[in-house]
A and B are shown apart, each in its own frame.
Chain A
Amino acid sequence: MKLINFDWTLLKADMRKVWSRPTFELAVGLAFFISITSVQTLFEVTTVSADFYSVITETLVRVTTTQMLPLVILSGILVSLSFARDYEQGLMQTLLSLPVSRTSIFAVKFVAVVLPLILLSWGITLFIMVMNYFTAASGLLVLQLSFWALPVTLFAVMFYAGLASLIALALKKTITSTLATVLAGFFVWFITTLTPEVLGPIADYLVFSPYAAPLWALKRLFGTRPMSEPGLEMNLPPWGFFILIIFYALVFLVPTYIYFTKKFEVKE
């Protein structure tokens, strides 16, 4: 039972270090600001009350989409800072000499960033959704739909955090790895903005990229109306997108974990 061996004291200490002042306050402010500005005042004139569902889901998708880029960049920065800064300051050597398994150290460093970040993001999403759409008639629907933002954000953040930890362990320099992570994050986002006119027919496949797939998982799950002509995304069912984003979440995480536990050495 690995979970029992999980070092909670270490996790607490690492969380305190990663989320020290003003990181937490800035993250709260940034995530809340971008989320609240992406939500329009509820005012729709329709002919069927069932439109309430589409209003809620469209807002939820919009909030999650808006949060995604800052969130993944932030997770990348924090994870690379957590690994590379400890290495540069010599703390990694101390950590590895403790009577704690490498698996625990890796898990602690990863969880200390990812868990508070997704809880913060989901908390803000839930708060905004409840504030905007919670009525006696729609309360349960709002809570049910808002729940889905949690796994989607978790898997997206896990992908970037895995990538960031790989970069940090490979480069071992705080500034270099942070910059490389930010650039990688922006690159993965940027390619999804390219259109078929620029990129050719391959642009149709960008809906399956690590940045777009989580958002499409949410859109396909809710059946949100597409903004443009339906494309390849309609060929993959919602659960297919969820399998894809779970794969993306593990694609860098597993090799990095194996490298950290088996091969990683601190050089003097």
Chain B
Amino acid sequence: MNITRAGSALLIVGLILLMNASSSHVSGHLTNSVGHLAEGESQHYVILTAPVGPANMCIGLHPKNPFASDLPPGFNQYDLTDVPVHMKFTDPNNNTIAEKDVITPYCFDVTFNERGAYNVYVTNNGNATTSMPLGIIFDFHNPDNKEADKYLLSIILTALGALVVTVGIVINFIRNKNLDY
């Protein structure tokens, strides 16, 4: 396979990846709630994510569901306002980003700038059993929420592909010119 064809394959891959990675694929409101949290008990959420940029994270925010008839029995049975909790938020390298005592619902800005598993630990400091949902809210189709590493890779591949194709064409041109003489 000659250099021009290798370059064009690289260019095709780069352009397709660029198309895919240049827009946001995470959008809107996502809430997860698992089980109940007795007083003094802790819960651990894992957020497996790509570097999708800025979001708003809420501890103790009721899951959104516009269709009341679809709700399972016991859904949203706890009043999540003013529940004192201790929260800890760590990045994929286990560095603590935030750790404090807060009152639910508690929302704060986060930036997912690394690929991997972010951890959220929540301890119920109140005096009653409750559920403790974790909500993550993204802007609708915000370009800042594109996958940063994939976008960068797509630009590198496209540029490299274009460069290799150009070099291949130039080499072919020089070779053919020499053959003419």
Contacts and interface: CB of A to CB of B under 8 A. Distances in A.
Contact of A32 (B12, B34, B149): B12
Candidate in A45, A46, A48, A137 with the most chain B CB atoms within 10 angstroms:
A45
B168 interface: no
A47 B34 contact: yes
A21 B168 CA distance: 15
Contacts of B87: none
B106 interface: no
Interface residues of A, number: 29
Interface residues of B, number: 33
A268 interface: no
B34 A43 contact: no
Nearest to B136: A45
Q: Is the interface of B mostly helix, strand, loop or mixed?
A: mixed
B115 interface: yes
Given A45-B46, A46-B46, A135-B92, 11 more contacts: A24-B9, A36-B17, A41-B26, A43-B30, A43-B48, A44-B48, A45-B136, A46-B45, A132-B50, A134-B115, A135-B116
B167 interface: no
B147 A36 contact: no
B13 to A, nearest CB: 5
Nearest to A137: B116
Contact of B9 (A25, A42, A134, A137): A25
Pairs A-B, 7 closest by C-beta atoms:
A41-B25, A45-B32, A42-B50, A135-B116, A44-B48, A29-B12, A28-B9
Contact of B115 (A24, A33, A135): A135
Interface stretch (A49-57, A92-100, A150-158, A259-267): A49-57
B117 A137 contact: yes
Contact of A41 (B16, B50, B116, B117): B50
Given A137-B92, A137-B117, A24 B1 contact: yes
Interface of A: 21, 24-25, 28-29, 32-33, 36-37, 40-49, 51-52, 55, 131-132, 134-138
B112 to A, nearest CB: 8
A7 B168 CA distance: 29
A42 B115 contact: yes
B150 interface: yes
B173 to A, nearest CB: 17
Contacts of B50: 41-43, 132
B20 A37 contact: yes
Interface string B4-46: 0100110011001100100001100010101000000001111
A98 B150 CA distance: 50
Contact of A52 (B9, B17, B117): B117
A77 B123 CA distance: 61
Contacts of B149: 131
Contact of B48 (A36, A42, A131, A134): A42
B46 to A, nearest CB: 5
B61 interface: no
A42 B5 contact: no
A47 B9 contact: no
B92 A44 contact: no
Contacts of A49: 46, 117
